[in-house]
Amino acid sequence: MTELASGLLTWFIKHGRKNLPWQSSPPNGYHVWLSEVMLQQTQVKTVVDYFNSFIKKFPDITSLANASEDDVMAAWAGLGYYSRAQNLHKTAQIISSLYSGIFPKTYLEIMALPGVGRSTAGAILSLTFNLPHAILDGNVKRVLSRYHRVAGHYSSSGVMKELWLLAEKHTPEKHNAQYTQAIMDVGATVCTPRNPDCKRCPISKNCGAFIYNQQDDYPNKKTKKIKPERSVVFLIYKNEKGEVHLKKRPKKGIWGGLWSFIECADNELEIEEKIISHNPNAKILESLETFKHSFSHFTLWISPIIVSSPGGANDYYKTNDISVGMPAPVKKIIQSFDLINHA
């Protein structure tokens, strides 16, 4: 066993996280998988509430498989990266039909599931079955980059190859589940992105970044690109009952599968044409303030326009009683829209 692995295992006994809601004895493959997917782009403290309410709604893989896509998307709404929820749903259906609702146990079977990559597969095998598989999530990448002073950014395939080799080298044959949890925990609570707490770190003795006082230099940063900007108009059709129209978005693309307002490009001609294409009697009532919504790859400027929609009936919802999954900015508008209605 490497010194890094034995240092982390000793540290885990006293300091490791053992009471996260997806940890149980014996481990539950569904819970581990769900938490891994939720944690891919989101921090533990945010995931805990989402995880608990998701499990309450869908207590096992079969109930998730049998749920409607809208129910799954509604339970996921707010976590972002909605293709993860679509893949989760598809995977539950596959496990339900091919494996009788029980999580498969081999690397190849798990890797064949939609949305499961190498690190997620490794985490499931390690944390659920205690099998010696390496993981390389964001926390582990940071710890290994600093410990070995790995030069270059993760976006380079060479850097990723090197990190995977290191992750595999340190992965122990025994006590694998504890090791995996320990390296994730050290990354999340000690070797943090800013101001790592090296004095409390169980592997500082051999950590290159600590020895050379270069913690801020690793992992190497990517040269910053300016984020592109886009703008869009949301058309909020409102009927005589004060209900608003929502449309299910296509599965692919941003907010895939969620329910949103009809949208169009931000220019007068297009707005006019679009408005009457949904309802020939529709008229602009009010333009709300433009606001910004940030995605990881671009910034979206959203201009909401409230439009009267006489006779509008299909897919119109009461603003205080919407059960379908909506993107965060749509929710935000609907909440403020309520205020306008009651002003």
Residues that bind ligand SF4 (CB under 6 A): 143, 146-147, 190-191, 196, 198, 201, 203-204, 207, 209-210, 215
Q: Which is nearer to ligand SF4, 148 or 245 (CB)?
A: 148
| Pairing label, strands 244-245, 316-317 | antiparallel
Shortest Å distance, C-beta 192 to ligand SF4 = 8
Element at 120 (helix H, strand E): helix 118-129
Which residues, in sequence order, are CB contacts of 290 under 8 Å at separation 6+? Answer: 231, 301, 302, 303
C-alpha 203/C-alpha 217 separation (Å) is: 18
Q: Which is nearer to ligand SF4, 86 or 204 (CB)?
A: 204
Token pair belonging to 69: 């896509």
The reply to whether 109 belongs to the active site is no
C-alpha 67/C-alpha 93 separation (Å) is: 10
Closest CA to 322 of 262, 279, 259, 263: 259
Shortest Å distance, C-beta 133 to ligand SF4 = 22
Angle between helices 29-39 and 44-57 (to 10 degrees): 140
C-alpha 11/C-alpha 207 separation (Å) is: 15
Q: Which is nearer to ligand SF4, 133 or 146 (CB)?
A: 146
Strand partners, 305: 235, 287
With vertex at residue 117, the alpha carbon angle to CA 115 and CA 121, rounded to the nearest 5 degrees, is 105
Q: Which is nearer to ligand SF4, 104 or 196 (CB)?
A: 196
Q: Which is nearer to ligand SF4, 149 or 332 (CB)?
A: 149
Shortest Å distance, C-beta 149 to ligand SF4 = 10
Q: Which of 36, 240, 268, 270 is catalytic?
A: 36
Shortest Å distance, C-beta 200 to ligand SF4 = 8
Shortest Å distance, C-beta 214 to ligand SF4 = 9
CA-CA distances (angstroms) from residue 319 to 79, 102, 243, 331?
Answer: 21, 39, 6, 9
Shortest Å distance, C-beta 211 to ligand SF4 = 9
Q: Which is nearer to ligand SF4, 209 or 334 (CB)?
A: 209
Strand ranges (DSSP E) for 276-322?
A: 283-287, 291-294, 299-308, 316-317
Shortest Å distance, C-beta 134 to ligand SF4 = 17
Angle between helices 29-39 and 118-129 (to 10 degrees): 140
The single-letter DSSP state of residue 82 is T
Q: Any alpha helices (H) in 16-99, and if so which ranges?
A: 29-39, 44-57, 61-66, 69-76, 83-98
Q: Which is nearer to ligand SF4, 40 or 215 (CB)?
A: 215
Q: Which residues are catalytic?
A: 36
